[in-house]
Amino acid sequence: MIAKVASKKAPKQGMLENVMRQFDNAADIIDLNTNIRKILEVTNNEIVVHFPVRMDNGEVEIFTGYRVQHNNALGPYKGGLRYHPTVDIDAAKALAMWMTWKTSLAGLPYGGAKGGIQLDPNKYSNSELERITRRFTYALGDNIGPELDIPAPDVNTNPQTMAWILDTYMSTKSPAERSTNMHVVTGKPVGAGGSKGRDRATGFGVFLTIKFWAESHNVDLKDKKFIVQGFGNVGYWAAYFLVKEGAILTAVQDAYGSIANEEGIDVDQLLDYSKGNKGSILGYAKARTIDSKDFFSLDCDICIPAALGNQITPKNANKIKAYLIAEGANGPTDVDAEEILLKKGIDIIPDILCNSGGVIGSYFEWLQNRNGEIWTLDEVMVKLEKKMKESFTTVLETSKKRKVDMRTAAFIIAIERLEEAYVQRGIFP
């Protein structure tokens, strides 16, 4: 799960435009085959379902759910489900496209998908969320499947959400088939077929890319100051591993507000506090509350946006003092803002590389379910680090060779892999 963000009305518009501009930029540089470009510019399937759910008070409410399947040239569709008011068809299309580039870049046998339900989960009880999730799963029907489209957690969804989806999906199959469908979702609780290490995979991946970047630039992470936007699963684990490396967490922003302490914030103490404070970091005694609009302008070395998309815009890009931005969220940096940041000499580890630890961890879970294996935590973490290192090194080398920024390099690698698949396989009929 990626955390919610401070702005309650986070902009959703522009994400599709952003991903298309990023795609067009890389496609132009590599002179992408015109016909393949036409295929990659559009989504394969866009599924919208409206379904009724009975609320705790006996009333029926109608919900709208989405699942967009962008491309499956490299393997089954893969991508998260989010529960958020900003979920709509354009947001799902943009996120599904990013997933296609992300899985291709990571060298996984997956395509890209994304989806979710347009709702604010804070307004519903746990039992209501369970019924909503199960009914959504039933409405999607055979549009998802362990060899077709494999959902995972995203904003405001978690292992429990995945367990409900798994149970509902399996219950629609004959008893003889049920155990063969365990890998219909990833990010499950360990007791329900999940993988050890999947909980920290995305945040650990964010940390690893920062560590690899630091090593390639001869930077020592000890005593480096960093700020994190979003204190959900990704923000917490990224901060946890950075602090273990000697870096100092100086500010955090979540859906409720922002706090700062230049001397450092204890990651685990803050997590414990937020859990006992209805998920909010506000009021934490060992940090002061600051105005959320000043968050990105804080003095720091590393900035980790790990919340929603379009958070770094031309309005705040000029104020950023960090020399490295590590994108824990999907699409947190607006294309125009990125131009400003690059001109300022700020390095950006792009989302499709930076937060790909999550989908790599999901791949490991899928493999274990498929093969009837159970890996240890150490095995998962070692394999994850090896895969992330391969991706990072390839992006860095391509960036230097092509004389482009890291995002453009990452897109070039991802798109070229898809182009190769289409060239070799041809197009039916």
Please report, for residues 139, 227, 283, 299, the alpha-carbon distance to residue 259 in angstroms, rounded to integers and kept in the order given.
41, 10, 9, 13
- Does 25 count as an annotated binding residue? no
The answer to whether the annotation marks 102 as part of a ligand binding site is yes
Please confirm, yes or no, whether 114 is among the known catalytic residues. Answer: yes
pTM for this structure? Answer: 0.94
Residue 358, classed as helix, strand or coil, is helix
pLDDT of residue 3: 53
pLDDT at 242: 98
Gap between the terminal Cα atoms of the chain = 40
pLDDT tens readout for residues 85-141: 999 999 999 999 999 999 999 999 999 999 999 999 999 999 999 999 999 999 999
Confidence band, pLDDT 50/70/90 cuts, at residue 1: low
Question: What pLDDT score was predicted for residue 348?
Answer: 98
- Residue range 42-191 forms a domain whose CATH class is alpha beta
Answer yes or no: are the C-beta atoms of 100 and 66 closer than 8 Å. no
The residue from 93, 114, 188, 387 that is catalytic is 114
pLDDT tens per residue across span 162-174: 999 999 999 999 9
**Given a cut of 90, is residue 11 above it in pLDDT?**
no
Summarize the confidence of residues 276-301 as an average pLDDT. Answer: 95
- With a cut of 50, say whether residue 27 has pLDDT above it: yes
Residue 67 in this model has a pLDDT that exceeds 70: yes
d(CA 23, CA 42): 12
**CA–CA distance, 306 with 238 (Å, rounded to integer):** 9
Superfamily grouping for domain 195-428: NAD(P)-binding Rossmann-like Domain (3.40.50.720)
- How far CA 251 is from CA of 137, 225, 327, in Å, comes to 38, 9, 16
Give the strand pairing for 257-260 and 248-254.
Answer: antiparallel
364-400: per-residue pLDDT in tens?
999 999 999 999 999 999 999 999 999 999 999 999 9
Contact 53, 131 (CB under 8 A): yes
The CATH 3.40.50.720 domain(s) of the chain lie at 195-428
Instruction: Supply the mean pLDDT for the chain.
Output: 95
Q: Residue 352: what pLDDT?
A: 97
- pLDDT for 369: 97
Query: pLDDT category, 5, cuts 50, 70, 90?
Result: very low
Residue 10 confidence (pLDDT): 43
With beta carbons less than 8 A apart as the criterion, state whether 290 and 258 touch. Answer: yes
- 190-215 in b/e form (b: 16+ CB < 10 A) is eeebbbbbbbbbbbbbbbbbbbbbbe
SS3 at position 281: coil
pLDDT in tens, 221-242: 999 999 999 999 999 999 999 9
Residue 176: CB atoms within 10 Å: 7
Numbered ranges of CATH 3.40.50.10860 in the chain: 42-191
DSSP state of 189: -
For residue 428, the model assigns a pLDDT of: 81
Contact 88, 54 (CB under 8 A): no
8 is in an annotated binding site: no
